[in-house]
Amino acid sequence: MAQRRSANQRPTKSFAASRLEPLELTLEERAELNLIAQESPQNIARRAQAVLLWARGATLGQIAGDLQVHRSTVRRWIHRFTQRRIAGLGPEDAGRRRSLVDSNIRDAIVRIAMSHPRSLGEPFDNWSLRRLQSHVLRRGLVKHLSVESVRQVLRGVPLPSDLWQRKRTSPLTLSPEQRAALEQLLERAKPEVGRRARIVLAHANGLQEAEIAAAVGMAPSSVRYWLRRFRLQGFIGIQAPRKPMRPTRFTPEIRRNILSLASRRPAECGVPRHQWSLRTLRSVLVQRGVVNDISIQHLRRILGEAGLQVGRKPLPAKH
């Protein structure tokens, strides 16, 4: 007689039941995934990169190695995308969170996104998610707004292509001699030069910048940089060392204003918190117009040079 399964015993899944099927992406999905991989925070961008690589035919092990995550994590990301498509890239508990952006704020953000940046006083011609986030914070429409929240607000909105879409560069056309020389660089050159050669070859084979970035472990902006160097200078461009970027400089007055605000308690600035976090302080600085933009790392460095620590212990009150 067959034994009955106990009440606490769960049926085991077969390997075939958990196997991931090949993924087919529509043109719209591929375009949005590339945008997410370039503009979203790293945790969301990596999920989009994983989906793009899986759709290209990469294995779980290859994707996990390129993105430096566990195979099971890649499997979960792809499974969630298969079940929910683009919505599956968000936080797992996103469906249970109450939106902090009401309908009026959403409409205002969409109107801004549909307008030319220069007509709103910005010194550029194209929006990005981070540029739009900074603009909304400076105008004081909301006190806190993440880049991911901006992306969620704009999902499904038919944005003007001339204001949002990057000018896509056509794939590189390589002669047989150039391709052979690049393949030699892959084998014989220093690792960093070989990686640049791999970028050029991948782009010539039709891969998008976000897909190349995921494969070589670089930011999309770095991929664009080396492709531009190759277009302008050829092999010299990718073999010469990259010049260090000049750090953004803030005037002494701006630094004093940053430290002055950081030395005050959040409640004095209308923020319902007992102590600052770097992200909250950055949002308030942008909202008040102290800075147009500042990275978390740069803000931490400025505070550290003044002996201030944010997020670890309360800062002294301003006298």
pLDDT tens, position by position, 212-258: 887 777 777 788 888 888 888 888 888 877 655 455 567 888 888 89
Place of tokens 């923020």: 271
Q: Model confidence over 131-188: pLDDT tens digits? A: 898 999 888 888 888 887 888 888 777 888 778 755 556 678 888 888 888 888 888 7
For residue 316, which amino acid is it?
A: P
Comparing 16 with 274, which gets the higher pLDDT? 274
Res 1 pLDDT > 50: no
Ordered by start, the domain boundaries in the chain are 27-91, 104-164, 176-239, 252-305
Res 12 pLDDT > 50: no
Q: How many whole angstroms separate alpha carbon 44 and alpha carbon 155?
A: 14
Element (H, E) at 269: none
Q: Model confidence over 95-136: pLDDT tens digits? A: 444 456 778 888 889 889 989 999 998 888 888 888 898 999
pLDDT over 70, % of the chain: 83
Res 314 pLDDT > 70: no
- 126: its two tokens: 């194209």
Residue-level pLDDT at 174: 87
- 171: its two tokens: 């794939």
Say if CB 49 and CB 37 are below 8 A apart.
yes
Residue-level pLDDT at 112: 92
Phi, psi of 62, rounded to the nearest 5 degrees: -65, -45
The burial class, CB within 10 Å (0-12 / 13-18 / 19+), for 1 is exposed
Nearest of 114, 124, 121 to residue 161 by alpha carbon: 114
Q: Grade residue 294 by pLDDT with cuts at 50, 70 and 90.
A: confident
Phi, psi of 246, rounded to the nearest 5 degrees: -75, 125
Residue 75's alpha-carbon distances to 18, 63, 96, 222, 269, in angstroms, are: 9, 10, 23, 27, 44
Say if CB 268 and CB 281 are below 8 A apart.
no
Place of tokens 């942008």: 286
Say if CB 116 and CB 125 are below 8 A apart.
yes
